[in-house]
Structure 1
């Protein structure tokens, strides 16, 4: 498997590098050799044959810088998404849309994988999250810290949030999912906090290659610990709803 991490120094505000660390570990447990590469600012990314292209969250300033670095390679990213998964988390999700308008009214053209538009606000919303998706049964837990409203998403990744701010409103649909392109504001890091989401991503990588994912070996200590941590987090966040 070839995993590409875009701008890990600038866009890993909440330790999102750990998403790829854990995904790599799972794939290796399944017997899959993994090649993990990073792309740095100003570097022309080699995305040919990528099974996954990933970007995490940054500040509002580094987000705009990442957009400028990646925009010249939008066509290559689109070609990578034809056969591999593109996963952007945190405010990297906003780059996938048509535009971002900052608090000064300056409009930045997005990468255009979706028609949605993001407008930054003066209100920052840090919040724990419980999200639900039709892709797998387990709710997703995590955290988001955004100061924006994203409107016009026709294909949200999460149908609704029990807790947290959706794209346009509190507890509304959240994220973006179309073909092989996925975005969510949820961080945490989200794959580390959610074994079911981690496993779903691994399974999709195999399916994109026309292969069947091997069974996850029983008795993996780190996976058991991740599942226990997930259950504790879900129970604690669910208690806030009572």
Structure 2
């Protein structure tokens, strides 16, 4: 049985991110156990072996709350990343793992696990866009809707952007990929949007790579990819 920990779904599910984990379980319900961790309880990963940890998008206020919670376990998170435990981090949850978040005259210390910082532009309109990128041989799709951007070298980026923007409008590098730690600004049920990547994660956990509604979800992926390829600059 593989344990997948869904962190703080009551706080971190603005665009339906938690359904990535629901979908993953539906792909292999007999072999995946989902642990839903409330923000008022200690995460299972602190004392238990877990195979995957998921954290999704949240409001800016909740972001600071989650930083406070996870700061207690920073060393354990680093240990799990080094050991190759799978992490999937989506939306502005990625910013929690950088050095700091700058918000006007405030600087909010983050976990400092990766060398970058984020800047909130709350006085501007929210940035909304989609992207097509490459992760190895896979075409990756993503949606973003955010007030903030991240800045750094991002040498260990997750996705090389083909169309759209990366961690900020001046880079084609998107996300973070170190060992089995994957983080992206993309929103929503990322695993449904990217079925071939979902197959890869199942394989990394030693599970069968068959997907729930495989034909339908791959057909939808191909349709989105073709539409975006035709319509995006």
Q: TM-score, normalised on structure 1?
A: 0.86
Q: Please list the CA deviations of residues 179-221 of structure 1 after superposition, one character each: whole Å capped at 9, or x if unmatched.
A: 2222100123211111111111222223xxxxxx5453xxx67
Cα gap change, 1:204 to 1:215, in 2 (>3 Å):
closer
Q: Which residue of 1 aligns with 2:3?
A: 2
RMSD: 1.8
Q: Which residue of 2 aligns with 1:210?
A: none
d(CA) in 2 for partners of 1:69 and 1:110?
A: 11
Report how far residue 171 of structure 1 moved: 6.3
d(CA) in 1 for partners of 2:191 and 2:84?
A: 21
Instruction: State the secondary structure of the residue aligned to 2:73.
Output: helix
Instruction: State the secondary structure of the residue aligned to 2:150.
Output: strand
Q: Which residue of 1 aligns with 2:16?
A: 15
Q: Which residue of 1 aligns with 2:226?
A: 235
Q: Which residue of 2 aligns with 1:177?
A: 177
Gaps in structure 2 of 5+ consecutive residues: none
Q: Which residue of 1 aligns with 2:160?
A: 159
Q: Which residue of 2 aligns with 1:59?
A: 59
Q: Choose 184-193 or 72-81, whichever is displaced more.
A: 72-81
d(CA) in 1 for partners of 2:64 and 2:106?
A: 11
Pairs aligned (count): 226
d(CA) in 2 for partners of 1:240 and 1:11?
A: 31
Q: Please list the CA deviations of residues 37-70 of structure 1 after superposition, one character each: whole Å capped at 9, or x if unmatched.
A: 1111231112021100110001111112211122
Q: Please list the CA deviations of residues 143-167 of structure 1 after superposition, one character each: whole Å capped at 9, or x if unmatched.
A: 111122211122110122312x211
Do 1:100 and 1:119's aligned partners in 2 also have CA atoms closer than 8 Å? Answer: yes
Instruction: State the secondary structure of the residue aligned to 1:9.
Output: coil
Do 2:84 and 2:181's aligned partners in 1 also have CA atoms closer than 8 Å? Answer: no
Report how far residue 75 of structure 1 moved: 2.1
Do 2:193 and 2:221's aligned partners in 1 also have CA atoms closer than 8 Å? Answer: yes
Output aligned runs, 1:184-203, within 5 Å.
Answer: 184-203=184-203
Cα gap change, 1:129 to 1:215, in 2 (>3 Å):
closer
Instruction: State the secondary structure of the residue aligned to 2:188.
Output: coil
Q: Which residue of 1 aligns with 2:69?
A: 69
Do 1:120 and 1:148's aligned partners in 2 also have CA atoms closer than 8 Å? Answer: yes
Q: Which residue of 2 aligns with 1:139?
A: 139
Instruction: State the secondary structure of the residue aligned to 1:144.
Output: strand
Do 2:131 and 2:161's aligned partners in 1 also have CA atoms closer than 8 Å? Answer: no
